């Protein structure tokens, strides 16, 4: 068990030297941070836990395997989800929650974000665990945070109706199960925007936790309270969060093994008003095995922070402090975790937004909105309190392929129930093996269109020589006729070579198809 600091006498002396003096530098999280020594005050800490279990895909899904089946969710998503979730509960949720309840009884203040999806799964499969989490959510020392019901990417859509609906759905669920109405929102899966800020205000949200940036090149100091369009904002400290969520088990890390009192010293030495740590709950025992001592670290952390003079506070209380400044407009495009979107992520997000008007089963569509799906379409996604996601290009493409096959199948099967089945089929996305792959003299240029809308969007930036190549071969009209199934549009664009006219013709047709469905 690794509860206390077992540093050697020499290392303890070095640590004392780091913390002493009028002005010194602290080595933490792989970079140097300036602090003032004598007379400096320790910041407070907002400790939050993100309690969610993703809706995992069925990687073995094939359209011909679900013929005649009514409950498509059982075919689209992991058939072993109950058993897999049970293992997460045994390894992480149960032991971490039991520890957390003891800490709360001892006076720890923290925040929890509990997704609607995880409540549904627990109610159906593991009601005992839901009761245990209810003890946390209703504890006097816990603040329950607002969230999107499905841990959703809907906040990245141009139309925020689904985002607003999910925020309200989650608020109502928290009130129903735990008799609380959240006023602080955990907005950590993508940058906040003017539109999402307005939607949050309309749902009764008074403050938000947003995601910070990693490393010394971070755009803003995460140790202060800010405002965004008059909304108080707390910024997660990614480096300190990842010391726990990512680096804790790394034996190659020069700070390994990480002890609670050493970590508390880093927090106390950080300049600023408040350190916000927002951690994936599965870190404790699942993503990081309990044999590493991660659960003992959790148990020891509050007392170690208190010994350093660090006070744990609720996010809503921290948000009342005088803001350090205004956060400006976020950089575009706002991909997951503040990163530049990959081309696979961009394709999936565009297809998902379109699918909202095509998939008749909202349960299927909303499960596909889970941010975890989009994270898995990048070779490496920023962690910031989550387990690090780093895989090969082939793995990301395989996941994208499975995702698009499921989404395409859901749209195709929904078409029969629409006002115009032919229009719905023409608007649907297609799986990667049927996508239009742009080429130049038979050499792929690296991007593909999975729907009419994506084809129209890509025509804005596709090089002229690529367009000429496909027009001369009549590739656009052939794909629209044979794959999309819109012979009328195929005939209209067959002889069109001008980029603007080609794009406008396709876009007008898309508009007419949507009108037929409304």
Q: Which residues pair with 187 in a beta bridge?
A: 210
Report the pLDDT value the prediction gives residue 173, as an integer from 0 to 100.
98
How far is the C-alpha of 352 from the C-alpha of 359, rounded, in Å?
Answer: 10
Q: What is the pLDDT of residue 73?
A: 82
* pLDDT of the residue at 217: 38
287 CB contacts (<8 Å, ≥6 apart)?
92, 245, 280, 387
Categorize the per-residue pLDDT at 164 as very low, low, confident or very high, splitting at 50, 70 and 90.
very high
> Residue 360: pLDDT band by 50, 70, 90 thresholds?
very high
- pLDDT tens sequence across 34-61: 333 334 578 999 999 999 999 999 988 8
Q: Are 290 and 298 in contact (CB under 8 A)?
A: no
Domains of the chain: 42-55+78-326 (3.20.110.20), 428-518 (no CATH)
In 358-467, which ranges are E strands?
Answer: 380-381, 389-390, 436-440, 443-449
Residue 213 pLDDT level (bands cut at 50, 70, 90): low
Q: Whole-angstrom Cα distance, residue 300 to residue 259? A: 9
Q: What is the pLDDT of residue 393?
A: 87
Decide if 399 contacts 376 (C-beta within 8 A).
Answer: yes
Q: Please indicate whether residue 343 or residue 340 has the higher confidence score (pLDDT).
A: 343
Coil vs helix vs strand at 87: helix
H-run or E-run covering 470 = helix 464-473
Tokens, residue 21? 């003096």
Which residue, 63, 31, 21, 1, is CA-closest to 243? Answer: 31
Give percent above pLDDT 90 in the chain. Answer: 74
Sheet holding 142-144, edge to edge: 142-144, 110-114, 44-51, 274-280
Closest CA to 72 of 54, 57, 84: 57
Check residue 254 and report its DSSP letter. Answer: T
**Token output for 2:** 């690794």
Which token pair is 473?
A: 């071969």
Distance CA 41, CA 35 (A): 10
CA-nearest of 225, 226, 280 to 112 is 280
For the segment 19-39, the average pLDDT, to the nearest whole number, is 36
Higher-scoring residue by pLDDT: 188, 299: 299
**Closest residue by Cα to residue 169 from 143, 196, 151:** 151
Residues making up the chain, counted from first to last: 518
3-state SS of 330-343 is: CCCCCCHHHCCCCH
Phi/psi for 308 (5° steps) reads -90, 5
How much is the mean pLDDT over the chain?
Answer: 87
- Is the pLDDT assigned to residue 247 strictly greater than 80? yes
The Cα–Cα gap between 50 and 357 comes to 30
Mean pLDDT value across residues 272-284: 95
What is the model's pLDDT at position 68? 62
**Residue 440 pLDDT more than 80?**
yes
Range from 19-33, 194-208, 274-288, 488-502 carrying the lowest mean pLDDT: 19-33
DSSP reduced 3-state for 327: coil
pLDDT above 50 (res 19)? no
Distance between CA atoms of residues 478 and 406, nearest Å = 24
Listed residue (301, 304, 327, 239) closest to 275, CA to CA: 239
pLDDT at 442 over 80: no
Express each pLDDT in 362-409 by its tens digit: 999 999 999 999 999 987 777 787 777 777 889 999 999 999 999 999
């Amino acid at each position: 068990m690794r509860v206390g600091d077992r540093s050697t006498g020499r290392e303890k002396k070095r640590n004392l030297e780091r913390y002493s003096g009028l002005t010194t530098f602290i080595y933490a999280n792989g970079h140097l941070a300036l602090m003032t020594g004598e007379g400096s005050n320790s910041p407070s800490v907002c400790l939050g836990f993100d309690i969610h279990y993703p809706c995992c895909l069925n990687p073995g899904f094939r359209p011909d395997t679900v013929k005649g089946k009514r409950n498509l969710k059982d075919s689209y998503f992991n058939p072993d989800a109950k058993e897999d979730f049970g293992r997460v509960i045994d390894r992480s949720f149960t032991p971490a929650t039991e520890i957390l309840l003891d800490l709360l009884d001892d006076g720890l203040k923290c925040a929890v974000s509990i997704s609607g999806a995880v409540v549904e799964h627990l109610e159906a499969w593991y009601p005992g665990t839901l009761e245990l989490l209810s003890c946390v959510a209703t504890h006097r020392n816990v603040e329950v945070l607002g969230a999107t019901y499905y841990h959703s990417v809907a906040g990245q859509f141009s139309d925020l109706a689904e985002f607003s609906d999910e925020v309200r759905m989650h608020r109502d669920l928290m009130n129903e199960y735990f008799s609380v109405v959240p006023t602080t929102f955990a907005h950590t899966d993508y940058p906040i925007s003017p539109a999402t800020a307005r939607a949050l205000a309309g749902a009764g949200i008074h403050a938000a936790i947003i995601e910070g940036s990693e490393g010394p090149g971070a755009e803003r100091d995460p140790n202060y309270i800010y405002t965004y369009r008059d909304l108080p904002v707390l910024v997660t400290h990614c480096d300190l969060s990842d010391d726990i969520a990512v680096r804790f088990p790394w034996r190659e890390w020069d700070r390994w093994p990480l002890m609670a009192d050493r970590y508390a010293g880093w927090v106390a030495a950080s300049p600023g008003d408040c350190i916000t740590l927002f951690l994936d709950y599965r870190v404790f025992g699942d993503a990081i095995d309990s044999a590493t001592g991660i659960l003992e670290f959790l148990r020891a952390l509050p007392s170690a922070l208190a010994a350093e003079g660090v006070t744990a506070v609720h996010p809503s209380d921290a948000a009342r402090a005088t803001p350090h400044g205004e956060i400006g407009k976020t950089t575009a495009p706002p991909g997951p975790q503040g990163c530049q979107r990959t081309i696979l992520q961009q394709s999936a997000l565009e297809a998902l937004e379109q699918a909202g008007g095509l998939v008749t089963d909202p349960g299927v569509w909303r499960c596909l909105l889970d941010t975890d799906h989009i994270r898995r379409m990048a070779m490496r996604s920023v962690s910031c309190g989550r387990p690090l996601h780093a895989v090969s290009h082939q793995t990301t493409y395989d996941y994208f392929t499975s995702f698009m096959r499921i989404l395409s199948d859901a749209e195709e099967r929904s078409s029969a129930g629409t006002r115009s089945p032919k229009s719905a089929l023409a608007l649907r996305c297609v799986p990667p093996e049927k996508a239009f792959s742009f080429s130049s003299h038979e050499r792929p240029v690296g991007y593909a269109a999975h729907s009419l809308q994506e084809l129209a969007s890509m025509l804005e930036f596709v090089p002229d020589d690529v367009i000429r190549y496909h027009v001369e071969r009549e590739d656009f009209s052939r794909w629209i006729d044979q794959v999309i199934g819109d012979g009328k549009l195929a005939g209209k664009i067959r002889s069109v070579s001008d980029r603007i006219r080609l794009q406008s013709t396709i876009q007008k047709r898309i508009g007419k198809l949507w009108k037929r469905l409304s």
